[in-house]
């Protein structure tokens, strides 16, 4: 049965596009806005590694959120492939190898392995000939590596294109480039202003990444999201060699793509809304990747990519409705884990919109946990 609900989504990155697909495929009338093209913001900073067991630190709720979302990925991909036929999206369970290059890093990974064991996460430790056999391109200086077989990679650009296409095929309308900066709960819904015009929706989902802070909701302070720049490189070995796994060091991580290139990520820079690639950023990544995979010195540099991750003070998303504006739902601030958390975020927002159902995870990520959101 078709729902008559109308939902506006501000931001067509991976989060906005996942929510658009989830809602449109369930009969909601979705309008998806973006000030640029879909996927031009934080998605550009993503290497597409789904790695909650590296990204989450002991004690962080990110472990439970990330592990839950990781479990949803196979179905999420099956859904988008079904609804966007002809869109190839690379999604591979490569696993990750987190490499220790010093005594200190070895001790750190040993502690991490013990913690992951206590959390029931499948992993194993490789060193000596076993590490060389598994990852011969890793530097011979490596002291060992933590292997996490359930980690995966996904091609984010292709994914966003497929999600937007899937949403469109289910009836969503994509309006770009259009920036929405005024949102207000009114008597019969939520009003957005576009120039002189006002449009009313049942819900407005704000998923504008770092630009969420530019969207003003009447009477609500600026949303506490700030941009953290990530620069990434694409490199390619002349003979097509590259590691089979996603290899991580303390200064960079790498992602092997099916086209034979290797993505090297990523800088973490607090430089405001500056989306330039810089000599210092590229040099930092080049030094780091050669330290991890020495033969990268002979690889060609094919491209540099830049994106702005949306960060909050505790590095968890702002997710859920505002109590003062119940039709306004935040889905922003996913920082380093927007791709990983996209299926869970889309599911949580869909349940709110379709059934007014509050997922228990909302207690961890409510936008109102920060001062001023009451």
Q: Which residues of this chain interact with ligand GLY, rule CB under 6 A?
A: 45-47, 49, 230, 265-266, 309, 336
Name the token pair of 306. 């830049």
Q: How far is CA 83 from CA 22, 25, 165, 167, 173, in A?
A: 10, 8, 8, 8, 16
The C-alpha atoms of residue 215 and residue 235 are separated, in whole angstroms, by 37
- Please, what is the minimum distance in Å from the beta carbon of residue 340 to ligand GLY? 8
Distance CA 29, CA 40 (A): 24
Work out how close the CB of 173 gets to ligand GLY at its nearest, in angstroms, rounded to a whole number.
Answer: 30
Cα separation, 122 vs 230, in Å, equals 29
CB of 24 to ligand GLY, least distance (A): 27
CB 138 within 8 A of CB 247: yes
Q: With respect to ligand GLY, which residue has the nearer C-beta, 56 or 166? A: 56
CB closer to ligand GLY, 156 vs 353? 156
Q: How far is the CB of 25 from ligand GLY (least distance, A)?
A: 27
Shortest distance in whole angstroms from residue 62 CB to ligand GLY: 12
Q: Cβ closer to ligand GLY: 16 or 321? A: 16
- DSSP at 330: E
Half-sphere exposure of 333 (CA within 13 A, CB side): 24
The neighbouring-strand residues paired with 247 are 97
Whether 4 contacts 30, CB under 8 Å: no
Spatial contact of 343 and 163, defined as CB atoms under 8 Å apart? no
**In this complex, which beta carbon is closest to ligand GLY, that of residue 45 or of residue 126?**
45
Compare residues 161 and 309 and give the one whose CB is closer to ligand GLY.
Answer: 309
Shorter beta-carbon distance to ligand GLY: residue 50 or 183:
50
| Closest distance to ligand GLY from the beta carbon of 232 (Å) | 8
């Amino acid at each position: 049965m078709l729902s008559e609900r109308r939902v506006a989504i501000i931001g067509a990155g991976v989060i906005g596009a996942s929510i658009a697909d989830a809602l449109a495929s369930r009969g909601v009338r979705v309008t998806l806005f973006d000030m640029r093209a879909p996927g031009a913001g934080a998605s550009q900073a993503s290497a597409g590694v789904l790695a909650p067991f590296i990204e989450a630190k002991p004690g962080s709720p990110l472990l439970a959120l990330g592990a839950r979302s990781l479990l949803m990925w196979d179905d999420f991909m099956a859904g988008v492939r079904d609804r966007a036929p002809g869109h190839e999206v690379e999604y591979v369970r490569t696993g990750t190898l987190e490499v220790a290059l010093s005594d200190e890093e070895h001790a750190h990974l040993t502690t991490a392995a013990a913690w992951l064991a206590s959390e029931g996460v499948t992993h194993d430790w490789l060193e000596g000939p076993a590490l060389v056999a598994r990852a011969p391109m890793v530097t011979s200086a490596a002291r060992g590596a933590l292997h996490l077989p359930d980690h995966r990679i996904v091609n984010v650009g292709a994914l966003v294109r497929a999600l937007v296409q899937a949403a469109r095929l289910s009836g969503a309308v994509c309006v770009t480039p259009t920036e929405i900066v005024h949102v207000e709960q009114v008597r019969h819904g939520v009003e957005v202003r576009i120039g002189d015009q006002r449009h009313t929706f049942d819900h407005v989902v704000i998923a504008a990444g770092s630009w969420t802070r530019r969207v003003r909701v009447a009477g609500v302070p600026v949303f506490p999201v700030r941009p953290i720049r990530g620069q990434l490189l694409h490199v390619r070995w002349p003979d097509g060699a590259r590691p089979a796994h996603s290899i991580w060091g303390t200064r960079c991580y790498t992602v092997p793509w099916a086209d034979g290139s290797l993505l090297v990520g990523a800088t973490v820079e607090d430089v405001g809304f500056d989306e330039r690639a810089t000599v210092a950023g590229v040099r930092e990544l080049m030094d780091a990747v050669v330290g991890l995979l020495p033969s990268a010195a002979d690889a060609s540099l094919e491209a540099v990519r830049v994106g702005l991750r949306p960060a909050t003070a505790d590095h968890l998303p702002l997710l859920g409705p505002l109590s003062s504006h119940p039709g306004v739902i935040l889905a922003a601030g996913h920082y380093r884990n927007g791709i990983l958390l996209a299926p869970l975020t889309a599911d949580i927002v869909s349940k709110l919109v379709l059934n007014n159902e509050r997922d228990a995870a909302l207690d961890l990520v409510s936008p109102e946990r920060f001062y001023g959101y009451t």
